[in-house]
Structure 1
Amino acid sequence: MARAAVLGAGSWGTAFAKVLAEAGTEVTMWARRPEVAKVLDSEHRNPWYLPGIELPPIAATHDHRAALAGADIVVLAVPSQSLRANLAEWQGDIPGDATLLSLAKGIETGTLLRMSQVIAEVSGADPSRVAVLSGPNLAREIADRQPAATVVACTDTSRAEAVQLASATGYFRPYTNADVIGCEIGGACKNVIALACGIASGMGLGDNSIASLITRGLAEIIRLGVAVGAEPVTLAGLAGVGDLVATCTSPLSRNRSFGHVLGAGGTMESAQQATHGQVAEGVKSCTSVRALAAAHGVEMPLTNAMHQVCHEGLATSEAVGQLLGRRLKPE
């Protein structure tokens, strides 16, 4: 039996720990807050992030060393912009041949590194030990055992297959892929496009508008992906289109919900309150994704508009006008 350490007890970390346990993997979770670890361990529930969900008997601890001991798979389930600091604290206790699996979706601010690059740099692990998981994986639906598929990407096929086996259930179907770059670019950029779709929804715009934003957003993602070495076919799959559609259209998506409040006339502060006090990942990622695109000479007008709305005070109505006012050209 494989043994997994899940470091991070947010909604997705908790849901994925549930998947692993129900796939027959031995799981220990680490939670940053002692009170969360205590309730997870003794009551097998997480009322802070997945209220109403009964978990399998998963061990949980506030001591990362106890969680990491003997782990074959180390699941990194913390936000992208805090991954480096957390990993620096954990890296000395990670078993030497463990597969490091990233659930984080983002581009690191400042360095413009993808999460797998941050993991390899901080941990000193060979990149072939680093895997990423990405797809249309809304945590609440998966915790409810609603059918979903995902992609496990790793340059080492045997490691990808080991994670696949450790997480396959009757409701959760993982596929393997060697294109780590494509999976990470799709996962980072879709959060930004979901903000735009949320804003459009909050402004009362209809399905034609949302479909147009998703389609043009996908074009931006593919342009950036190809520029940094991704395979276009990856972005046409679960880690690209699949993740993009789910995040842009579901009310369970924090990024879409955050954008909806902004589009309805709310402030950044009220949008944060509406998403349970958490800033949506796309708010942080839009700046780093925009910078990465600029470094590679890639045009990303939607991403640029989201950066201006979130960080430069551009009104949402002006952002829409800016996008619609762009010069006419072939698709």
Structure 2
Amino acid sequence: MKVTLQERALIAAGFSRESSPEGFGPLWRSYRVRNERCQGWFHSLSLEDEPWSVSIHDFVIRDDFVMNFDSPRYLTVTWFRSIAGEEFSPYRKLRPNSIWGQSIGGGPWRGVAHGGIPVQSVSIEVTPEFSARFLDLEYEGEFRNVEKAFVSLGRNDEFPEMKALLSGLWPQPGDEGRSKLFYGGKVLEAMSLIVERTRREAPGSRRAASPADCERIHDVVCYIDDHCAADLRVPDLAAMACMSPTKFKSTFKLVTGMTVIGYVQSRRVSQAEQLMRRDDLTIGQIAHAVGYACAGRFSAVFKREVGMLPSEFRKSVVARRCQGGEPNR
């Protein structure tokens, strides 16, 4: 993969080539940006003769940044050390210390990264052709749908093996000698982890919802988006979808990849992130505005979703707006 999608986008955003920091060997290309909108680094390991690449993001943007990419098709798995934002179609919350899988290409990908919070991540990207060859060699026709396996990542954040693998790819002082063979081996290991994890899933977890059920769930999701601060009860939402509560909960998770409660909480937190950019509201007032009577409960949910307490989030946003600064490696 000669030039990764992220690399092209970031170059267009003002990043320029610079010498790599300590720990990054000669295989890496590093880019840096220092302006009023963004501060930090992007590192890419993309070799001319290899169908895979490794990317590291380490920057902070001042304001929310809408991502809207249309690219050649490839598969990617990412570990986010730090992030705040959302992916659209389907809506999914971007969370710190989480694993994310995507199939990029064949149409635009859209999302938003929230300003003031460092974007720090490690990604492996592979071509579909490489994936097909890997599966033919390692599994002899037993497993075919690796694209679906990638896309399912992010619906369950508990993937400690992948977190350990990807976090270990972030170079530290003394790692300059890591070779092409080292990184290629880690790419194959990541592929194996994804395939084996998917094969261990119960067959019933991979069934598909009917088009009619998908449409009903979509309507309920739109309702939740517009009324996320309200007292949303599963029986009422199930009635809107013309389903029993049991079927509604299982179908909702099948379609969205999230539980009903998890989805409502993610929407409330997203709304709270926007409100905390205002100086005229206390955190308690914001908690109440997004549907939490107890500020303590709101703080616990916010920290799980964003990776920091509401007070820390507000302090970070204010600091980034008042003065520049780069995220620490």
Higher relative contact order (CA 8 A, sep 6+): 2
TM bucket (normalised to shorter chain) is: 0.3 to 0.5
Bigger radius of gyration: 2
TM-score of the pair, normalised by structure 2: 0.33
The structure in which a higher percent of residues are strand is 2
